[in-house]
Every structure is written in structure tokens, then in C-alpha cells.
Structure 1
Amino acid sequence: MMSRGERVRLVAACVGLVAVLASGCQSSGEGTDADPVGGSPTSSSAPPTPVPTATSTVVEPADGPRIKVPGASMHGLATYTRNSDFGIVQGFRDGQSGVTLAPALTDTASLDAFAKEWIRQHDGPKVQVRQDDAVAGGKYNAWHVVDETSDPQYRVHTFGVMFLDSSWTITIRHNLDGVPQPLTDDEMQGVTDSLLASFKTDLD
């Protein structure tokens, strides 16, 4: 059994140990608030200045000749002239690119199923390679495939759109031997975006 004096000394030692531990924790906490370079507390530093972000490029819809098929229409470039007219299939082009709009026949219930069906009917996925989906008319999702047959003259992109019980394909061709000169890939992307932006259904 401890004497009263031993108990007093033991309590005093425990109090001293607690004080030392508390002092160490406080010191450690103060170190985390300080700026490692200047020693000023980080809580008083000014918030970082927001960095402006680039706004998305506004795409101007093509405003050339109107291309009309049952249920939908779009516009070609101002330089386009008609190169095919099969009633429900309409094609326009210039020396650098071209577009064909046509209704599509499908009994599928989704855009993805429509894309897979179209690919199967056009030589399969090794030829018609699926790309990221696009947007037509600013609001209609469209599947996108590229013909990888390595045609030395054209690079062919096909887009498929579904709306209610109707569907259409938009085929855009990049003439790799274009005149007066071939379009660059970036220029052709601008043409594609402009053509797709002009798409409308008869209900728009």
C-alpha cells in the first residue's frame, strides 16, 4: 500500500506528463497553420484568383442550299451544288466535301441498336468503325461511324439520327484530293460541325 506522500508524488508526475503532451500537441498544430516559407498562417492568406476558362466555340449552322427529305431537312455549304437526287435521297457537294441526307428504315428501339444494325448492313464493324456519338441540330443525338476501307479519294463519315418513329442518315465526305486544295482535318471538322448543326426535323 502506498503512503500518502507517494500518492501525491505520483499524481504530480502524471499532471506534469499531461502538460508536456498538451504542449507538444499545441506546438504541432501551430506548425500546420503556418506558411512553410513565410511563417504566416494560411488561414489569413487571400483566396486564389480564379483562372478564366475558354468558352466553347459557337458553331454557325450551314446556310447554303436546303436539302429536304421526308421528315427532315438540313443545309449544305454555300459552295455546294446538287450532285444526286433520288427523291428521298439528296446529295450536294463542292470540290472539297459533300453531304447526303436520306431517311433510314429501322425497327430498332434505340440509337445504339440502330447503329449496330446499320453497321452490320454495311460490311460490318471492321469497315464501319464506331466513333463517339455526335449531336445534330443542337439537340438530337447521332451515332457516328467512319468508313475504314482506305479509299484513296474520300474519307466518309456517317451519322444516324432517331426521333419519334423516324430515322435518318447523314453522310459527310471529305475529298482527300480536293480542289482548289484539300481541307485540313481541322477545317473538315468545322465543315462537319456546321452541316450537322443545320439539321432539323419537320417538327422543329
Structure 2
Amino acid sequence: MFERDYFMRMIGQMAQVMGQMMGLRKERKQEEALLVIDDLFNQQFRMNAKLIRSLSDADLVRIMTTNGVVETANLHAIALLMKEEAEILDELGRPDQSYISRLKAFHLFIRLSLLDAPALLRTPSEEAADLAVKLNVYELPAATKLLMFEWYEADKRYDQAENVLHELLEDGEVQGGEADEFYRRLLLLPDELLSGGGLPRGEVIEGRKRILMDKEGLGAE
């Protein structure tokens, strides 16, 4: 009951904060909006804003885990604030800083989606999908691509998972055996699920054939 009440309070608080941010941005008070975000970080999450920004997404998940239970509402709120921060930094002409905030928010939303966390204002997967579009212009780090690959597969977007997998193979971040395992997992799924995920069974079979041929070619060398 307490967790449910806390979650509902967080939804109300974040809806209010997002409205406040929108108002400040419309009034061109971006610096003031950034201060509001700092204040929220300092007051709400038992950590100061500087520490939250310095920690990795994985570290934030660990810190927000108590007795094996992840405090998803807090993580979702942090991700929302970082997403908003990135938009404000863009408006202030600070693309390098906005990229850092946006990327961390992206990682957090993906992790929340993989945890099947409930929606705050929207589902974590919907939030992550928005950020994926924004980040599409960048060459993303390997750690981000690995998270995206896991997320797309879990989200049943198999065609997009395959696209990221090919990038990871080209980058040398995964090996042929791991790619083969991906296709083998897909072959266990029903045809309608594969088609719905943009990767019909025939394409899965062809993809696996290419991976096996590549592995054999490397072995021959």
C-alpha cells in the first residue's frame, strides 16, 4: 500500500514538474529551469545533483536497489529530469552537455524497460524510443548498443535488434557465436511473433546462415 501511494505521489509530482519546466522554457528561463532540476535532485533522491550526474546508469540502479528491489519510480523520475535537462541544454546551445544527459536518460529508460517497470507518465520503452530517435545522429558507444540490442529483443522489435547486432559484429563487440544464439532464440518463437517484430522466419533463417558462413570462413583462415 505504501509503495502504491508513493508511486502515485511521484506521478503527480513529475506531472507538476514537467508542467513547470514547460512554462519556464516558454518564458525563455532555461537557466532557472536547470536550477529547478538541481533542487529536485538534491531534495528528492538522497544524493546531490553533482553525484547523480557523475554516476553511471548501472551505479544509479545499484544505489536505488534495496533488498533486491529496484526503486523504479525514483529511477524513472531521474531519467525524466535528465531527459528534460537535455532539451534545455539544447535550447541553450550546449550540445555536448545535452548529449551526456540524453544518453544517460536513454540508458536508464532502457534498464527500466528491461525490468518491466510500470509507467510513470509514459512507459520506459516509449520514453527510450523517443530518445533513440534523438540520438540516431551520433555514433553511440558500444555499451549503449549492447543495451539497445537487449532492449529491442525484449521489446519484440527483432528487426531493430538485428540491425544493432550487425553494428556490434562490425565493431568487434560481439562474436559470431553470440549472433548465432540470437537467431536460435528467434527460431523458437511462433511465426506471427517474428512477423510482428519485423523479422519473418525466412529472414531469421537467412540471417543465421550468413553468420554460420562467416564463422566457417574465419575458421578456414
- TM-based fold match above 0.5: no
Higher RCO (Cα < 8 Å, 6 or more apart) = 1
| Bigger share in strand | 1
